[in-house]
Structure 1
């Protein structure tokens, strides 16, 4: 299971006082108000940054980090990912899962047929769609709805599904 989750990507500096524009990669932009720290993915490791200020502008989040007060300091952060630990991740409701935890789990039908592993999750707006891949077979697209998803056991790495007519 993943211990770090991406919540955004720094796109550009904002102003001259060290603020950055962040494209959020989380479902809930308001979660940035409650974050005290984030981890900056530097490629070869992470660096913890304390959040000093949060503003929202259009579809972006403007963040100010403590101790970073110059535009030149944040210029080097372009395209860097912002991560949070599992402890700082949003609390999940019933039948909700982190996409990072679903990627790679085995999918079996309610008839016992091994269908493959989840290779991607498409977010369509209405409901997510799980992309199930298996060597030598065409990808299977399974909607994340109660009629299809029978059981998910992230710890065991397995999902049981019911294939509705027309899904094959």
Structure 2
């Protein structure tokens, strides 16, 4: 089965990595020209997310990501302050949490590594149609196109794929 994933954010890359690991013919296309061109905030991976990640990518990539993170159980409880600097309260005690915070850019780079040469950057999608055999075809602004058995739209809020 040929799968085209439009969108190389965390979701699209995770799907592409998992499909590739399972032997599917997959291609991921993203308009960014650099996988590090994204917000640099941290993201929390709870136990379910860590388990899913282990299924999607090779163990070495998972180990590298987990080694880059910080365990929430090692952090002080969050404090909440009002605009005058008065303490309003504290967040939950995370002492027993197995969750970790990881850098979004690091996560995206490692997922891109798992997708490998099947990640195509700098590709702007203009639409989705059908080829001569009725299969879905992704159209790009440069005039190129690619057909697949399945097209997945992981291209965000203003999804071109969803509109088609």
What's the TM-score, normalizing by structure 1?
A: 0.28
Specify which structure has the higher proportion of helix: 2
Q: Which has the higher contact order (CA 8 A, sep 6+)?
A: 2
Specify which structure has the higher proportion of strand: 1
What's the TM-score, normalizing by structure 2?
A: 0.28
